[in-house]
Structure 1
Amino acid sequence: MLEACQVSFTFKAQPPLLKSISMGVNAGEWVGLSGDSGAGKSTFGQLLAGYYLPYSGRVLVDGEKLPSRGIKPVQWLPQSPELAVNPRWRVGRVLNEAWTPPEALCRAFGIKPDWLKRLPGSLSGGELQRICVLRALAPGVRYLIADEISTMLDPITQVALWQALKAEAQTRRLGVLVISHDTALIKRLCSRHYHLKSSQLEAC
């Protein structure tokens, strides 16, 4: 289980953004998280993935702290994939930085071989997002934080991306936290749904 245990967080010299939040995502489970803009959804996702340390409380993965080295078992996927890659690296190098996925999985995500020879800036947002999602599926990863990953994509690309991710997550029993303003999407994908409001987490 990926657990937030009484987690609180604040940026320096600002009011508390998150207060004593506890929740968990089980292996193989899809959980949704919604909330107003600025409520702290992305910050919470980054806390779970180890990008920030909580002011108080703990984040645990299967009862242990996140490791400080190697491929982390929790991967955060941001809305803007261009922020997650080195723009000077060829896409193949970006992908292989984490692992070399099998050809069948590349096909499932609709990734074309010629993309790997190009620079990230030459791909569309949807194409680059598929690369970033596939990169996050490296061996050893057990939980994904999908933070508005389909917001900027056209409907056809959205469906293809979620279908491919759902299938792979089921095969590997990955736990997934879906962060989105789209509550209809959360209802389609997730078995549980929480809403972040006024620094508190509410079950929906």
Structure 2
Amino acid sequence: MLDARKISFGFRSQTPLFSQLSLQLERGEWLGLSGDSGMGKSTLGKLLAGLLQPQQGEICIDSKPLPSQGLRPVQWLPQSPELAVNPRWRVKKLLCEAWHPSESLMQDFGIQPDWLSRLPSALSGGELQRVCVLRALAPGVRYLIADEISTMLDPITQLELWRAVRKVADQHHLGVLVISHDTALLERLCTQRLHLAQGTLAMVTTLETP
């Protein structure tokens, strides 16, 4: 279980985004997170992935602190993929930074062989997002924090991306937190949806298993 226990966080002198907030994500679970802009959804995602540290409370996996070195078992995937890559690395090096995905898996994600020799700037935002998602699915990863990862995609590409993520997540029993303003998307993908507002998480609805 990925377990955030009574965490508090704020930026410097600003009003804390949340205080004493708790959240649990089980292996194999698809949990949705909605909320208005500025409520701290992305910040919470970064905290869960260990990219930020809570000012109070703790975040654990199976009652143990998140590891600070090596491959992170919790991967945060941002809305803007260009922020997650080295612009000077070619796609093949980006993909193989953590592992070597198979050709069949690259096909599932729609990654074309000629992309491998390109720089990130030579791909569209949607193409680069597919690369970033696949890169994050290395062996040893147990949880994904998907932060608006399909916002920039057309409906068909969005469907293809989520089908590929679902296939890998089901095979490896990954827990997935899907952060999105699109409540219809959350209802299609997730079994539960939380809403973050004024520093508080509330269960909105329990959904049927997709």
Write the mapping of 1:79-90 to structure 2, written as runs, cut at 5 A: 79-90=79-90
Deviation at 1:63, TM superposition (A): 1.4
1:11 and 2:28 equivalent? no
- Counterpart in the other structure of 2:194: 194
Deviation at 1:50, TM superposition (A): 0.4
**Following the alignment from structure 1 to structure 2, what is the Cα–Cα distance between the partners of residues 68 and 25?**
20
**Following the alignment from structure 1 to structure 2, what is the Cα–Cα distance between the partners of residues 167 and 139?**
15
**Following the alignment from structure 2 to structure 1, what is the Cα–Cα distance between the partners of residues 203 and 21?**
12
Length-normalised TM-score, structure 1: 0.99
Give the aligned residue type for 2:31.
V
Residue 110 of structure 1: SS of its match in structure 2?
Answer: coil
Write the mapping of 1:41-190 to structure 2, written as runs, cut at 5 A: 41-190=41-190
**Following the alignment from structure 1 to structure 2, what is the Cα–Cα distance between the partners of residues 43 and 18?**
10
Residue 92 of structure 1: SS of its match in structure 2?
Answer: helix
**Following the alignment from structure 2 to structure 1, what is the Cα–Cα distance between the partners of residues 64 and 193?**
25
Q: Give unmatched runs, 5+ long, in structure 2.
A: 205-210
Q: Deviations over 1:31-60 (max 9, x none)?
A: 000000000000000000001100111101
Q: Deviations over 1:5-37 (max 9, x none)?
A: 111101111111111111111000000000000
- Counterpart in the other structure of 1:22: 22
Give the aligned residue type for 2:61.
V
Deviation at 1:202, TM superposition (A): 0.8
Deviation at 1:61, TM superposition (A): 1.0
Give the aligned residue type for 2:25.
V
Give the aligned residue type for 2:127.
E
Deviation at 1:135, TM superposition (A): 0.3
**Following the alignment from structure 1 to structure 2, what is the Cα–Cα distance between the partners of residues 183 and 19?**
25
- Percent same amino acid at aligned positions? 63
Length-normalised TM-score, structure 2: 0.96
Residue 129 of structure 1: SS of its match in structure 2?
Answer: helix
- Structure 1 runs (4+) greater than 2 angstroms displaced: none
Across the aligned residues of Structure 1 and Structure 2, the Cα RMSD in angstroms comes to 0.6
**Following the alignment from structure 1 to structure 2, what is the Cα–Cα distance between the partners of residues 117 and 175?**
32
Q: Give unmatched runs, 5+ long, in structure 1.
A: none
Give the aligned residue type for 2:63.
G
Deviation at 1:150, TM superposition (A): 0.3
Q: Deviations over 1:126-172 (max 9, x none)?
A: 11000000000001000000000000111111000000000110000
Give the aligned residue type for 2:28.
G
Residue 7 of structure 1: SS of its match in structure 2?
Answer: strand
- Give the number of equivalent residue pairs: 204
- Counterpart in the other structure of 2:208: none
Deviation at 1:123, TM superposition (A): 0.3
Residue 22 of structure 2: SS of its match in structure 1?
Answer: strand
- Counterpart in the other structure of 2:207: none
**Following the alignment from structure 1 to structure 2, what is the Cα–Cα distance between the partners of residues 175 and 186?**
15
